[in-house]
Amino acid sequence: MWAGGISALHLQALHPLAALGIVQNSSFETDPFGRLFGTGSFIVATTWGTRARAEQAGARVRAVHERLRIHDPRSGAVHRLDDPDLLLWVHCALVRSNLHAVQRGGLPLRAQQADDYVREQRRIAALIGLAPGDAPGSVADLEDYLAGMRPVLTASAEALDIHRFVSRPPLHGPHRALRPIWSAASRLGYSLMPSWAHDLYGRPGRPATVATGMLRAARATALLVPWRTRLGFPTRDLHQAVERLGRTALPSRRRLRRRTTPTATDRSQ
């Protein structure tokens, strides 16, 4: 899902207003890790955190979005960052990117489980200020939404700037050693986007088989790290979930294969 997050940033930037919002209001140029880790922390908190923890994370996001504006130099218009249409695009691009990365990475999701995931993300949409029913409730609905958005999307000057920066951020000091890893992760995330997104950017991604192989190799390497270290970053919400619920809170391919729908206990958490 780290690869999914990077992929989402490339995809989100194709919306002209989203790209302007990132350029005008984000610290991604001065703190590229902060943007990615902030998104990662929100996902972890809303996945494994308590209801109160998730609601706190959502309240922080809403508070930031509420006070920020986007100034469109082409039309002269001023837009709210929490405009529902813009929030919906950012939400759907992230959900699609994470789901696609997880499936390509080798997690054996059934079609029903993928639909469950998309539907569950409506609760996350509500946390950031959307009406839950406005967000897609199935993979088919999600793909229909993305298809309907394609006439709006373009590789604007701001999108190209974001793409170039995310591909090769000017890392300095102790972060300089991370340049090869970041570059490889960004290229992989870019490759996970749909082919029509590559066409808009005018740059192909890696061949599908190569990108899938790289993603699965990265996942296999990560699984060699003990879970307490690997899943304690960027926050300790999963550790705390294990303390509350036991080791059944840990991700498990075996349990995933056994189940087709969330239990009533799962839905109540």
In this prediction, residue 266 has a pLDDT band, given cuts at 50, 70 and 90, of very low
Residue 206 C-beta-side C-alpha neighbours within 13 Å? 17
Average pLDDT for 142-153: 97
203 is a domain residue? yes
Domain of 32? 2-261
State how many domains the chain has. 1
Backbone angles phi, psi at 80, to 5 degrees: -75, 145
Q: What is the pLDDT of residues 70-101, one digit of tens each?
A: 999 989 999 999 999 999 999 999 999 999 99
What's residue 2's pLDDT?
A: 83
95 is a domain residue? yes
Backbone angles phi, psi at 231, to 5 degrees: -105, 15
Length of the chain: 269
Average pLDDT for 52-73: 93
What's residue 259's pLDDT?
A: 64
19 is a domain residue? yes
What's residue 234's pLDDT?
A: 81
Q: For the chain, what is the mean pLDDT?
A: 88
266 is a domain residue? no
Of 16-25, 75-84, 117-126, 177-186, the range with the lowest mean pLDDT is: 177-186
Tell whether the model's pLDDT for residue 28 goes beyond 90: no
Q: Model's pTM, two decimal places?
A: 0.89
What's residue 258's pLDDT?
A: 73
What's residue 29's pLDDT?
A: 65
Residue 244 C-beta-side C-alpha neighbours within 13 Å? 12
268 is a domain residue? no
Q: What is the pLDDT of residues 196-211, one digit of tens each?
A: 999 999 999 999 999 9
18 is a domain residue? yes
Average pLDDT for 54-72: 93
Q: ∠ CA 221-224-229 to the nearest 5 degrees?
A: 110
In our burial notation (b when 16+ CB lie closer than 10 A, e otherwise), range 222-260 reads eeeeeeeeebeebbbbbeebbeeeeeebeeeeeeeeeee
Q: What is the pLDDT of residues 224-263, one digit of tens each?
A: 998 888 888 788 888 999 999 998 888 887 877 776 544 4
269 is a domain residue? no
What's residue 132's pLDDT?
A: 81
CA distance 26 to 153: 20
In this prediction, residue 27 has a pLDDT band, given cuts at 50, 70 and 90, of low
- Sequential DSSP letters for 133-170: GGS--SHHHHHHHHHHHGGG----HHHHHHHHHHHS--
- The residue written with tokens 């569950």 in the block is 120
Tell whether the model's pLDDT for residue 212 goes beyond 90: yes
166 is a domain residue? yes
